[in-house]
Structures are given as C-alpha cells and as structure tokens.
Amino acid sequence: MATSSTPAGDAVARADRPRPKTRVRLWLALGALALLAGLAGAAVHSARQHRDLERSARIHAQVAALFESRLGVDAICHLERAPFASIAWLIDTEVQLRRLASSEQALTLACGLSVLARSHALIGRYAQAERLSGEANGLLDRHGLENLSVTATTVSLMNLQARYAPAEKIAKAELRRGHDGIDMATRLDQLRLQLELSRAQWGLADDDGAMSSLEDALAQARVLVPPNAGLIAELLSQRGEWRGRRFDFSGAEHDLTQAIAMSQGTTQADNARYQLVRMLSYSEQPERATAEAGQLVADRQAHLGAQHPDTGRAWIAQSDAQYNAGHISDSIGALQHGKAIVLASYGARHPEYAEVLRLESLHDYMHMRYDSSVGKAREAVKICEQAFGPTHEQTLRVRFNLATKLTFGLDSRWDSPDYREGLGMLEDLVQTGSETDIPMPYEKMTVGIALAMRAPEHELPRAERILREVQVDIHQYLPARAAARSYVDFTLASVMYRDGRQVQADEQFARFVQARDGEQSLPLPTRTLIHEALMYRALYAMSTCRREDALTALRKALKSDREHLSQARIYARQAQDYLGEIERHGVLSEHFGRKQVADKRLDGADAKLYFQASRLSLDCSRGLLAKR
C-alpha cells in the first residue's frame, strides 16, 4: 500500500524509516562532548583542590614558623611543654595567628589556639585559656576533625582547675577511639593524654586507677622505637611524685633520680629534680633537699636564664629547703629572689605567688609577726581556691599552713575564734585524707598537738590517743631524725606533764634531749623542740626544789639556741630571761610570769604550768618543800 504523499505522510514515513548513521554519530559526538566537559570540570576541581591544599600547607607552614619564632614551639599540632610568654606577647601572637589562618584552615587555627591556651594557663590566665581551648574544640567539631593535642590541652586545663570528673571522661573517650597506624608524634600525644587521664584519676582519689594508667603508659613508652627518653622521664617523674605523696620515699627517690639521669642536661631533668627537692623536704631530709635545690637553681639559670619563671620556682624551692634546715637568713634571701621573678612573670594572683606567701607566713610566724603571718596564709588559700578549687593538693597545702597559724597563733584560748577555726580546718584535712586514702600523718599529728597544747584538761586523753595512733604512722613513714617524730615524742611527754604525770614526763624529756645530743644537722623544728624540752625540765626542777638542775637545763638551752637558732632570737631570749630571773631571785616570780604574759611570750596551758612552778619554787625557797 502506497503512502500518501502529503507533508504529514512524509513526516510519518520519515519516522518509520531507519535513522541515518549521521544521527548516531551526532549522539556519540554529544556524549563525547559531555564526557570531555566532565573531565574538564574534574580537572578544574582537582586543580582547585590542589591549590587549596597548597594554600593550607603554606598557611600551616607560616603559622608553624610564627609559633617557632615567637614561642619556641616546633610542632603546633602535637603536644609540647607549654611555652612561657608575657600576656602582651601572647595577645600579639593570637592576633597574628588569626591574620594568617581563618576558620577555613580549621586544624591549623585550632592547633595554634590550643598552644596559646596552654601558655595562658601557665601564667594563671585560666579564663582566657578556657576560651581559646573551647574555640579550638568548636572548630574541630564543626569541620568533623580530630586532634589529640587539642583534646589533651582541654583535659590538662580541667586537671589544673581540679575538674577531674569531666577530664577523666573526655580522656577515656578519646583513648577508646584507637589510632591504628599512627605516626610517632601522634603516638607520643596519645601517651601524654594517658598521663593526663592518670592525673584526673589521682584527683578523683582513684589512686589505684591512676597508678594503673600511669604504669601502662610507662610500659608502652619503654618499647617505643626509637625510644623517647624525655617522655619516659616525664612519666617517671610523675610516678615519683605520687610515690612520695604516699610516703614511699625510697621508691620516689629511685624514680626521680632515674628520670634525672636519663634526661641529664635538659629541662625535663630539671623538672624531675624539682620534684626530688619537694620530696626530700616532705620526707624531712632538709640538708639533702638544700643541696639538690642549689643544683636546681644553677641548672635552671643555665637552661632557661636568670629571669625565667621556672628559675623563680627553683629559688622558692630552695628557700623552703633552707628554712626547714634552719638556714633562715639564706632562706629569706632565696625567697626574695624567687618572689621578684614570680611577681614579674605571673603577678600576685597566680598560685606560684601563693607559695611565696606561704613561706613568708612561716618567716613572719617565727619572728612573732602573727597578724602578718595569718594574713598572708589566708591570701594564699584564697588564691589557690580561686585557681584550683578547695580539694586540689596545692590548696590543701596552703590550708594546712593557715590552720597551723590559727591554731598556734596569738590567741591560744580554747574557745577563741582563731583556735576553733584552725582546729576545724585541721580536722577537715584529716577527713579528706581518710576519704582519699592518702596518708596525712602531719595533719593528724597537728590535731593531736593542738589538743595537747591548747585544749582543756578533759581533752588530754583524746590528744594522747591521737598522738599514739599517729606515732605508728610517723615511725613507719619517716626517717629517725624527722622533725615529725620529734614532735610526736615531745608532745606525748608534754601531755603527760599537763596530766600530772610529771616524773614520767621529765624522764621522757631527758631521753628526748639526750637522743639528739651532738647532732649537727637536725631540722629547725627539732631544734626548737630541744629548747622547749629543756624549758620543761627547768620548770620541773624549780617545782621540785632543784635549782641547780634548773640552771643547768637553762644554760644548756641557751648554748643550743645560740649555736643553732641564732636566726630565731626569741628562743635564746627566753632561756636568757628565765636564767637571769632564777640567778637574781632564786625563784620564778609571779611578777616575771605576768610580764611574760603581757609581752605575749607565755599563754594558755604554758602560762598555767609556769605559775604552778612559780608557786612551788617559792615554797621551796621558804623551806616548805624538800628537794625531790
């Protein structure tokens, strides 16, 4: 059948006929063009990506150069020790960082902000550090990125401010992620984050968990290839510090001396030596602590310069050791060096300045400047509580100092506000130790001494019970020549004296002095106790009509005070005054006692004992009592 020869028919016929090959070639051409366009687009996109990567790498290199030149940081996206810098320097570095890196370079900017956060924390600007750390974490979150150094900085800041629970949570979550196939730098960051985890656990009183995390990190660090001596030394230093806190002094010394040996000539060795000085002071080895502190000051000056804040901290540690060793004028000189550096570096609101105030409080107390002593002790507590919170170890340290100054201060009445506040603080510290399973023999001992010296007579049995309990701990933990052992032994004798067992007490005092005769390097507190024991013996001798024995005891006290307590003249002055009173009048007069009370050299239970001895010495002089 023929088709119609119309335009419409022609259209149908064209449609029915096979398409010519030219139509196929057209579609192929179009497809090829599309493919070429796609390839061209991909090439353009790839080129753009390449340019972006090049730009990011260039910006990262510029930021890295900025931090290396201004703060000495070699790798901004890996953990290094926080560099010290002034506030103005840090602010200017932040301005330059933001000019170089925008939020599009999220990782570079976050790493730079994290370094600045660590440096701000170092100088006590915790709010600024928190702001920068928070911004760094926000940048990473928004871009779906991760960085161990940024996370570790966050955890470290939390630990510094005693926010241990969230620090532990974040650290555990990050470490659970796992980082298989990571490079060595990231592996080191991971182990340092594990160190921060252990610090959080220690702060939460999970001592076993903290030690387990630390031991695991140390075991991993020991098998790294190549080995990283600096990290191992850092981990050993931390374990040494904690062993010392748990009164494992031999283990602590082993760790710290090993850390020093394996990182000799570096700031890490200096950090370990700083902990060694603290441990030797805490374990009452003041002469060794003083020698190590002198080496620490010299090393800090050589490695960091005379005005670096860590050099200032070394001077302060030396002052503390010298004070405990009885080198009072040297201690004051070292403290002035350290104070000037700390004030210039940190200002008067930094926790390092709180340690300066604690030491100044000790010196003021020794020289009977009680109001100044208590005022400085309170300010130190305020600084540490604001920086760290109430349960941080440094806060507990300065609280203990304040508690002792209040308890043994100017107003020694049992019902005085200062005494009650101080005793309450001491009892709280003992309770904290019980809750955290950390030995606190010093704090418990001081409660017993406070009760023995100031409490009413009906509290004496409680004081003796506490002292006999702590005597076991003291003898277990501390060396034979430790001042704490002397304090307990002396105070138990004084309790017996106050409780009417004066014959036994006098025998104890005699043994106390005899056991320490001839010792040339006793701690300062032990020297003061020898003075007090001889004063007790003189009082008892006058009470029992043994005037010559009293004079012998006082002369021995005066000789010892002049030889060993020349910087604390109040002791020699007291012995000289009592000696002169007996030589002139043959008795201890009430007039002399009232003058001692008025001059605030005699108070509380001591005043009562004096007037008791005064009455008995008068009876002796009248022949009413026979020599006993």
**For the segment 83-93, what is each residue's pLDDT rounded down to a tens digit?**
677 888 889 98
Q: What is the pTM of this model?
A: 0.77
The SS3 assignment for 191 reads helix
The pLDDT tens digits for 48-62 are 444 444 555 677 677
**Sequence-distant (≥ 6) Cβ neighbours of residue 22 within 8 angstroms:** none
Better-predicted residue by pLDDT, 454 or 330: 330
The residue type found at 94 is: E
Structure letter (DSSP) for residue 518: T
Mean pLDDT for all residues in the chain? 85
The pLDDT tens digits for 318-375 are 999 999 888 899 999 999 999 999 999 889 999 999 999 999 999 999 888 999 999 9
**Sequence-distant (≥ 6) Cβ neighbours of residue 560 within 8 angstroms:** 527, 530, 531, 534
Structure confidence at residue 35 (pLDDT)? 45
CA 417 from centroid of its chain's CA atoms: 29
Say how far apart CA 266 and CA 431 lie, in whole Å: 40
Window from 32-41, 297-306, 406-415 with minimum mean pLDDT: 32-41
For residue 27, what pLDDT band results from cuts at 50, 70 and 90?
very low
Say how far apart CA 349 and CA 335 lie, in whole Å: 17
The pLDDT tens digits for 118-152 are 888 887 788 899 999 999 999 999 999 888 889 99
CA 194 from centroid of its chain's CA atoms: 20
